[in-house]
Amino acid sequence: MSVELKLRNPTVAELCKIVGGELKCIGSPDVNAPVTSVTTSSGEVTDGALFCAIKGTRVDGADFIPDAVASGAACVMSVTLPDAALQCESLAAIIVDDVILALGRFAEWYRDKSDAFFVAITGSVGKTTTKELVAAVCSAKFKTHKTQGNFNNELGLPLTLLGLAPDDKVSVIELGMSDLGEIEYMSKIVKPDVAIVTNIGTSHLATLGTRENICRAKLEIMAGLKEDGVLIINADEPLLVDKLPELGDRVRLMSIYNRNGDYRAMNIRTTAEGITFDMIYDNKPITNIDIPIMGKHNVYNSLAAYAVGAILGLTDDEVRRGFTMFRGAEKRQSVYEVGYLTVIDDCYNASPESMRAALDVLSSMAARREMRPIALLGDMLELGDYSRLMHDQLGQYAAQTKVAKLFCYGMMSDIVAEAAIKKGIRAENVFVCLDTRDPQTMADMILQVSEPGDVLLVKASRAIHAEKVIEYLKKKIRKGKDTKHEL
């Protein structure tokens, strides 16, 4: 990723001081030259760029320093200089102990040059959708900057912040994590005015062990929250409510069931376009809030967005206009037609909570449109010792939601299939493909038994690459090789 620096352009020498590095020069580079962009890819280097030489599992960025210099880099940031780099005629290198941490120091310095209002979002499920909803609401009145794609980790966050522009008035930042300490580190860089915890789920049980530890990790978002900042949490999550005495008076509660919610939804209805609900806020009813996204779980995400809008002083009409501008992120509950199939593409990632929510959406859409619900459910990762249990529960839930055809994909698919059959789905309606390297076989199973009028949910953890099954479905249908149906 390459980011143009629009707020400030430090010189090479200044940047070295900012990140606490050691400046090493070969030849006579201009250390007073401005740094105009930042990139982690040598192929994206332009004149004036800082090339960050990051060592990955397969590739060491330091090996590409000569290429970056040849493309016009003002300087490079690296842990070491390999022999090939020492042969450059002119090179300014900032030597640091850890390139990613140094990039974080640069991003914190850069963020402090912005006058924007910062919103940080974390949670086990729904943080990306919440980010998009908050950004849509804020965009109704302010120029809004936001995290792009999955740039929500210790490397992606600095690159996101370095993309701030002088006229950005709001910045909506998503914070992901895999272990304790990561959100605390990122929160201290962001220094949010508002922090949001959407929920506490079961993702990352493999590393954190318990939901209590997951809750602890998510609440690290308070580490960088400004003294006069606001923390918005889900009041229907007991683990978060139990922490209220420790959180102080900066907390605002969003809820559906908890009567103490500051932003409380009720009368939730499913519509052809999404969901509609009423809300009690500041002891006043606000009726018929329309959200162009399906699923009761997205009411919480919408409440968080409404709360941010209210804190920023947006009127009810402005918040509603913002909701109409919402566009879901790619591969998150995208609905489109693939030949005779309606596909709910929700294969960006998966957890037990998001799987159940997606099955609820499938059931609701199928009933509303008088279609037959079928589902491809792939493995959920990072569940550790709970993996077998939670895949078993997934199969049971699929049966409870009356999925007509169930396609189980991945190493845990036999567990999902067996549980679904025990719970009532007939065995001839359950299909298993253990090998995720063979998306064609899974797609062929779907083509063999699906019918016009079916709505197909596709959901799995990101590493399963369930989107490849959809890609094969598209190719097969487009080429007309599926002779069972008239396309």
212-248 residue pLDDT tens: 999 999 999 999 999 999 999 999 999 999 999 999 8
Contacts of 281 (CB under 8 A, 6+ apart): 262, 263, 264, 306, 310
**Other CB atoms within 10 A of residue 266 CB:** 15
What SS3 class is residue 237? coil
For residue 477, the model assigns a pLDDT of 85
**What are the pLDDT tens digits along the chain (487 aa)?**
899 999 999 999 999 999 999 999 999 999 999 999 999 999 999 999 999 999 988 899 999 999 999 999 999 999 999 999 999 999 999 999 999 999 999 999 999 999 999 999 999 888 999 999 999 999 999 999 999 988 999 999 999 999 999 999 999 999 999 899 999 999 999 999 999 999 999 888 888 999 999 999 999 999 999 999 999 999 999 999 999 999 989 999 999 999 999 999 999 998 878 899 999 998 899 999 999 988 888 999 999 999 999 999 999 999 999 999 998 766 667 889 999 999 999 988 899 999 999 999 999 999 988 999 999 999 999 899 999 999 999 999 999 999 999 999 999 999 999 999 999 999 999 999 999 999 999 999 999 999 999 999 999 999 999 999 999 999 988 766 444 444 3
Q: What CATH number should be reported for the domain holding residue 74?
A: 3.40.1390.10
Phi, psi angles (nearest 5°) of residue 250? -90, 5
- 339: which DSSP letter? T
For residue 93, the enclosing domain spans 2-98
- Do 320 and 174 share a structural domain? yes
Q: How many helices (H) and strands (E) does the chain have?
A: 18, 21
Q: Of 296, 324, 352, which residue is a domain's last? A: 324
Number of structural domains the chain divides into: 3
Could you tell me the CA-to-CA distances from 332 to 25, 347, 358, 362 in Å, in that order? 47, 7, 10, 13
The residue assigned the tokens 């729904």 is: 126
**Are the C-beta atoms of 465 and 439 separated by less than 8 Å?**
yes
Report the C-alpha gap between 299 and 352 in whole angstroms. 18
Buried b vs exposed e over 354-393: b needs ≥16 C-beta within 10 Å?
bbbbbbbbbbbbbeeeebbbbbbbbbbbbbeebbeebbbb
For residue 268, the model assigns a pLDDT of 95
- Do 344 and 257 share a structural domain? no
For residue 434, the model assigns a pLDDT of 96
pTM, rounded to two decimals: 0.88
For residue 9, the model assigns a pLDDT of 97
- Do 315 and 377 share a structural domain? no
Q: Give me the torsion for CA of 68, 73, 75, 76, rounded to 10°.
A: -30
For residue 483, the model assigns a pLDDT of 46
- Do 408 and 310 share a structural domain? no
- Do 227 and 301 share a structural domain? yes
Report the C-alpha gap between 134 and 24 in whole angstroms. 44
For residue 116, the model assigns a pLDDT of 98
For residue 487, the model assigns a pLDDT of 37
* In-domain check, residue 103: no
Q: What CATH number should be reported for the domain holding residue 408?
A: 3.90.190.20
DSSP percent split of the chain into helix, strand, coil, nearest 5: 40, 25, 40
| Tokens of residue 386, six digits | 């709970």
- Do 435 and 399 share a structural domain? yes
**Are the C-beta atoms of 123 and 130 separated by less than 8 Å?**
yes
What one-letter code names the amino acid at 126? G
Q: Of 98, 126, 141, which residue is a domain's last? A: 98
For residue 108, the model assigns a pLDDT of 98
- Do 134 and 71 share a structural domain? no
What's the 3-state SS for 29-90? CCCCCECCEEECCHHHCCCCEEEECCECCCCEHHHHHHHHHHCCCCEEEECCCCHHHHCCCC
